[in-house]
């Protein structure tokens, strides 16, 4: 049935008068995005995960005094597979980085990372320590940084509100998790724990730099060297320990 071109004009579409109260025509940006973002921003479930003293403040934030339930964030999940948010709350040691990246890879999209405190963002008081990484953003994409040592619960809440505002700006049309040609594109390589932490993304660069400064293997060098006969005449004499005589 042909529709008469009489009625309200909604963009490029003409809606007949008899349907004007029943049909709503809009764009993804105007209709779907606000609903989609509103539902996600008010139900962010963090993964139950703490690293050091900052985690105590994170736990306080979830208590009744600060009431994270106001933001729909009180449901800390015990598995990354049900979580949207990873709060890096504390000192990130090299030993823990492989585990943190593995947990992040197990979270479904869309997922977010909040770096809480000086340690997580840049090493904090342990920066340059032999066992501490100077920022989790070397290994994971961080959405919000919360400064402080430790940040107060109010500061963490402020960071969570900043995350909500970031979510408000996202669109279904451009969201990266719906536009992946390669489904493994968001998978981050798990670093290798060794003499020093190796980020697999930097492997080519590490190989190039290592080739510039070859390190001689001392065992092979010792095997390759011809053995010298001992200089018997100049050898130091062994001093026998003196033993006490009979009393």
Of 72 and 129, nearer to ligand SF4 (C-beta) is 129
Site for ligand SF4 in 107-146 (CB under 6 A): 117-119, 124-125
Report the alpha-carbon distance of residue 104 to residue 112 in Å, rounded.
9
Identify the DSSP state of 118. Answer: H
Contact track, ligand SF4, 83-112, x by CB under 6 A: -------xx---------------------
Site for ligand SF4 in 7-46 (CB under 6 A): none
Kindly tell me which residue out of 14, 32, 53, 155 binds ligand SF4, with binding defined by CB under 6 A: 53
Close Cβ partners of 1 (under 8 Å, ≥ 6 residues apart): none
Kindly tell me which residue out of 3, 13, 19, 149 binds ligand SF4, with binding defined by CB under 6 A: 149
Is 54 one of the binding residues for ligand SF4 (CB under 6 A)?
Answer: yes
Of 37 and 91, nearer to ligand SF4 (C-beta) is 91
Of 102, 14, 10, 88, which Cα lies nearest the Cα of 52? 88
Contact track, ligand SF4, 184-203, x by CB under 6 A: --------------------
Least distance in angstroms from the C-beta of 199 to ligand SF4: 22
Which DSSP helix (H) or strand (E) runs through 88?
strand 85-89
Report the alpha-carbon distance of residue 112 to residue 26 in Å, rounded.
29
Least distance in angstroms from the C-beta of 161 to ligand SF4: 20
Of 57 and 84, nearer to ligand SF4 (C-beta) is 57
Of 54 and 167, nearer to ligand SF4 (C-beta) is 54
Count Cα neighbours of 28 within 13 Å in the Cβ-side half-sphere: 6
Of 110, 125, 121, 104, which Cα lies nearest the Cα of 155? 121
Kindly tell me which residue out of 150, 153, 159, 191 binds ligand SF4, with binding defined by CB under 6 A: 150
At 132 the three-state DSSP class reads strand
Helices 33-41 and 153-168 cross at an angle (nearest 10°) of 160
Report the alpha-carbon distance of residue 86 to residue 73 in Å, rounded.
12
- Note the residues at the interface with ligand SF4 (CB under 6 A): 52-54, 90-91, 117-119, 124-125, 149-150
């Amino acid at each position: 049935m042909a529709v008469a071109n009489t009625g309200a004009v909604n963009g490029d579409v003409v809606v007949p008068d008899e349907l004007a109260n029943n049909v709503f025509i809009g764009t993804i940006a105007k209709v779907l995005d606000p609903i989609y973002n509103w539902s996600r921003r008010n139900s962010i479930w963090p993964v139950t995960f703490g690293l050091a003293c900052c985690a105590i403040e994170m736990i306080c934030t979830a208590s009744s005094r600060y009431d994270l339930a106001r933001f729909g964030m009180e449901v800390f999940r015990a598995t990354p597979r049900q979580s949207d948010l990873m709060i890096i709350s504390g000192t990130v040691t090299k030993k823990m980085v492989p585990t943190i990246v593995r947990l992040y890879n197990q979270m479904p999209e869309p997922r977010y990372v909040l770096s809480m405190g000086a340690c997580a963002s840049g090493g904090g008081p342990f920066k340059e320590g032999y066992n501490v990484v100077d920022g989790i953003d070397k290994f994971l994409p961080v959405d919000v940084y919360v400064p402080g040592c430790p940040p107060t619960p109010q500061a963490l809440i402020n960071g969570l509100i900043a995350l909500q505002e970031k979510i408000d700006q996202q669109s279904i049309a451009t969201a990266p998790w719906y536009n992946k040609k390669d489904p493994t594109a968001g998978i981050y390589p798990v670093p290798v724990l060794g003499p020093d932490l190796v980020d697999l993304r930097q492997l080519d660069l590490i190989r190039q730099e290592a080739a510039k400064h070859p390190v001689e293997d001392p065992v092979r060098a010792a095997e390759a060297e011809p053995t010298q006969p001992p200089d018997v005449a100049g050898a130091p004499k062994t001093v026998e320990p003196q033993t006490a005589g009979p009393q």
